[in-house]
Amino acid sequence: MMVLNKKHLLSINDLSVAEIEAILDRGDHWAHKPNNQLSFTPRLDNNPIICNLFFEASTRTRFSFEVAAKRLGYYVLNFHPFNSSVQKGETLYDSLKTLEAMGVAAAVIRTPEEKGLDEIASSVNLSIINAGDGSNQHPTQALLDLLTLRQHFGRLTGLKIAIIGDIKHSRVAQSNIDAIGKFDSSIMLSGPSALMPDPNSLPAHATIVSMDEAIETSDVVMMLRVQKERHLGSISYENYLDEYGLNKKRELHMQKHAMIMHPAPFNRGIEIDGDLVESKRSLIYTQVANGVAVRMAILEGILAGDFLEING
Amino acid sequence: MQTRCIFGALIMLIQDSILSKYARSSGGLVNYLPDPRKSKIAIAMSGGVDSSVAAYLLKEAGYDVVGITAWLIAGTGRCCDTGMVDAVRICDQIGIEHHSVDLREVFASGIIRDFHESYSRGETPIPCISCNNDMKWGHLLEYSVNVLGATHLASGHYGRVVIDDDKYLLYKSSHDKKDQSYMLWGLNQKQLAHTLFPLADMAKDDVRNIAREAQLSVANKPDSQDICFVSVGMTNSDYLTRILGEKPGDIVMISDGKVLGSHKGSFNYTYGQRKGIGIAHSEPLYVVKIDPELNTVYVGTKSDLLSQRATAKNANYIGETVMETDSLGEEFFRARAKIRYNSQPVAARIYPRDGARVEVEFAEPVEAVTPGQAMVFYGEQDRVLGGAWIE
């Protein structure tokens, strides 16, 4: 039996390699359980209640957490801010304290704010799971990506992973750069130069390369969604597929064994050709399924403190 | 009759459900239920037994249902803190999604503030009606339609919506004892068109029985009675004293202007109140008037409580009324006017005035017409013709 001795999950950097491996093992376990029933665990009055607080629209991630919780027998309270107003510092703290008083065990938070979760987490008793904070971190996405990579390649070491798109503003890219850095694999970043991070800020295992190099030499091409809501400025969507997207012509230049990933939702015809989403190379729907499995493992690990019957 | 045709078609669609069983027994006035194949229903859930059963019945009748709770109160209040979690559990048990919409700010700046101001004006407010109009059938309905993609907002209120050609009419529910149409008179056509009351044909016992049979965990939860934002263990008077502060003033006999005693705040009194005045007198004394400017509470005998007339503001009318003209050539309609939640309606002539005001002439004098309360007008077959706020 393995104990995940964590109260919160705010960043992938909160986790050691051993903890990540344990989450992936448990996620793998859930990924192989039949998916045809929503609930496996009997719902008892004292089962945990988790609250989804999404201050940015994301039906997909919210629903993934909801399904994960319900499969575990947990209750789900979906909180909606009125008029989508962001709750900052004190207000969010008050909301969390009230939810805590109501008996809510964990809050899953998605926020456009990049700072502040750490501070709030240190002053509340319920658990906080970061479901994406601005351009900062999206740890559950990184974990589901790791699980998907490990399932497909059988390892997390010695892989060359290309991440293509708006790296600078992407919490998915940030979390994956951090996550993959914990294993002996390398990252190639590519996309519009205005959207590349400062090379000096990158860790040793990550480099910025040309589109051709990224496509032709990687084991995995991970495309990022063009985030229209974050304004790309000078970048035009019309030519995006040809210039920085994964179109069929580029796909031909990928290594034979190389795979395609995307955190979804995708813009078909902008960063990725629609046909490639469902092609043999695509792991995109596996990622979605693994999202539920990994989130089950995280909720369990954080709320139960340990994974019961790890091989059960 | 148009309503009968719709009734027949819908019973076909929901015929195996508990809802249809009760709908059949209701007779003439058919409670509006939409086509389950074309509807998505958000049910406003307080965590109480009524809204829980309403949600259960809709789901059982084959509707696509989602639970929605308005989070109204910032601190601890009587309803929403435990209610929200109960609602979450019930939704889970029924097998529907649950959503909470954070309306704490608008509730505080709207409903609660108005409540305090109304007391400062010497009135006895009834915040639940404004909350229905502005929060539940305002923000919550808007959220249900715009964000959750619902076609309708249902609630566990005991009321009835009936479609008459292109109009949505409001009626009392089948069982007079629990009827809540008094709380719903403020709804307009746009709101009523999206409104469902699944409990229209049920008595409270029916609701409890359904809850027990369905093993809903809230089956035996007591009904809520009080102002929801006043904390458990606190009286209204404690609450208002804390918010408005002690405001000592005189208690004065209305007939002769004699000062009989003192009070610590006129907000502790309401029109018609007999108990707790704390003045010994040869015959029973009642609060008959509160003057906020003089901070004076007037008392008198029972006959001083009677009024033949009243005025009210911000009237809302639902559907058509038959206008008549009196001997002076003034237009009015006949109705039975209910001047408080726990009173019987009395026959009255309602004179609509400019600026959504009304003047009301009762057929016989009524007791304790209280500013801040609502006056609701009932017509034939207990149809709600409208209502207004007593001045």
If DSSP states are collapsed to H, E and C, what string results for chain A? CEECCCCCECCHHHCCHHHHHHHHHHHHHHHCCCCCCCCCCCCCCCCCEEEEEECCCCHHHHHHHHHHHHHCCCEEEEEEEHHHCCCCHHHHHHHHHHHHHHCEEEEEEEECCCCCHHHHHCCCCCEEEEEEECCCECHHHHHHHHHHHHHHHCCCCCCEEEEECCCCCCHHHHHHHHHHCCCCCEEEEECCHHHCCCHHHCCCCEEECCHHHHHHHCCEEEECCCCHHHCCCCCCCCCHHHHHCECHHHHHCCCCCCEEECCCCCCECCCECHHHHCCCCECHHHHHHHHHHHHHHHHHHHHHCEECCCCC
- Per-residue pLDDT tens digits of chain B, which is 391 residues long: 444 444 545 555 676 788 888 876 666 788 888 888 899 999 999 999 999 999 999 999 999 999 999 998 876 555 556 788 899 999 999 999 999 999 999 999 999 999 999 999 999 999 999 999 999 999 999 999 999 999 999 999 999 999 988 899 999 999 888 999 999 999 999 999 999 999 999 999 999 999 999 999 898 888 876 788 887 778 889 999 999 999 999 999 999 999 999 999 999 999 999 998 888 888 899 999 999 999 999 999 999 999 999 999 999 999 999 999 999 999 999 999 999 998 999 999 999 999 999 999 999 999 999 999 999 999 999 999 999 999 9
Check CB contact under 8 Å for A75 and B88.
Answer: yes
Cα–Cα distances in angstroms (integers) from residue B24 to residues B12, B45, B197, in the given order: 11, 26, 15
The predicted model scores a pTM of 0.87
pLDDT surpasses 70 at A36: no
Domains A12-137+291-304 and A139-287 share a fold: yes
Q: Can you read off the two tokens belonging to residue A192?
A: 């519009």
Confidence at residue B16, expressed as pLDDT on a 0 to 100 scale: 78
Ranges A4-13, A116-125, A228-237, B371-380, most confident = B371-380
Omega within 30 of 0 (cis) for the link into B34: no
Among A76, A78, A86, the residue to mutate for chain B (most B Cβ within 10 A) = A78
Nearest by CB: A49 against B85, B97, B103:
B85
Interface of A with B in 120-159 (CB under 8 A): none
Contact call for residues A50 and A65 (beta carbons, < 8 A): yes
Nearest by CB: B92 against A75, A95, A101:
A75
Confidence at residue A40, expressed as pLDDT on a 0 to 100 scale: 53
| Distance in Å, alpha carbon of B83 to nearest chain A alpha carbon | 9
Interface of B with A in 144-203 (CB under 8 A): 147
Domain extent listing, chain A:
12-137+291-304, 139-287
Q: Can you read off the two tokens belonging to residue A40?
A: 């496996």
Statement: B304-390 belongs to CATH 2.40.30.10: yes
Contact call for residues A245 and A270 (beta carbons, < 8 A): yes
Average pLDDT taken over every residue of chain A: 89
Check CB contact under 8 Å for A76 and B98.
Answer: yes
Q: What CATH topology corresponds to A139-287?
A: Rossmann fold (3.40.50)
Pick the closest to residue A164 from A112, A109, A225, A217 (CA basis).
A225
Q: Can you read off the two tokens belonging to residue A135?
A: 């351009």
Other C-beta atoms closer than 10 Å to the C-beta of A289 total 16
Other C-beta atoms closer than 10 Å to the C-beta of B391 total 16
Q: What CATH topology corresponds to B246-300?
A: SH3 type barrels. (2.30.30)
Q: Does A103 touch chain B (CB under 8 A)?
A: yes
The one catalytic residue in B79, B80, B91, B228 is B228
Please state, in angstroms and rounded to a whole number, the distance separating the CA atoms of residues B99 and B88.
Answer: 8
Pick the closest to residue A185 from A215, A216, A207 (CA basis).
A207
Name the 3-class secondary structure at B117. helix
Please state, in angstroms and rounded to a whole number, the distance separating the CA atoms of residues B316 and B303.
Answer: 31
Residues of chain B within CATH 3.40.50.620 domain(s) are: 9-213
Check CB contact under 8 Å for A79 and B102.
Answer: yes
Q: Does A229 touch chain B (CB under 8 A)?
A: no
Q: What are the b/e assignments for B51-75, b being 16+ CB within 10 Å?
A: bbbbbbbbbbbebbbbbbbbbbbbe
Cα–Cα distances in angstroms (integers) from residue B72 to residues A81, A171, A238, B365, in the given order: 12, 33, 46, 39
Check CB contact under 8 Å for B98 and A45.
Answer: no
Please state, in angstroms and rounded to a whole number, the distance separating the CA atoms of residues A124 and A283.
Answer: 38
Other C-beta atoms closer than 10 Å to the C-beta of A279 total 13
Interface of B with A in 266-325 (CB under 8 A): none
Task: Based on the residue annotation, tell me whether B128 is a catalytic residue of this protein.
Answer: no
Please name the helix (run of DSSP H) or strand (run of DSSP E) that holds residue B65, with its range, or none. strand B64-71
Confidence at residue B17, expressed as pLDDT on a 0 to 100 scale: 86
Q: Can you read off the two tokens belonging to residue B278?
A: 């704390």
pLDDT mean over A187-196:
94
Q: What CATH topology corresponds to A12-137+291-304?
A: Rossmann fold (3.40.50)
Check CB contact under 8 Å for B92 and A43.
Answer: yes
Quick: pLDDT tens for A67-105.
Answer: 999 988 899 999 988 765 666 667 889 889 989 988 899
Check CB contact under 8 Å for A79 and B71.
Answer: yes
Q: Does A115 touch chain B (CB under 8 A)?
A: no
Interface of B with A in 4-33 (CB under 8 A): none
Task: Based on the residue annotation, tell me whether B228 is a catalytic residue of this protein.
Answer: yes
pLDDT surpasses 70 at A141: yes
Pick the closest to residue A278 from A252, A260, A251 (CA basis).
A260
Check CB contact under 8 Å for A76 and B143.
Answer: no
pLDDT surpasses 70 at A44: no
Please state, in angstroms and rounded to a whole number, the distance separating the CA atoms of residues B312 and B389.
Answer: 5
CATH class of B9-213: alpha beta
Contact call for residues B47 and A49 (beta carbons, < 8 A): no
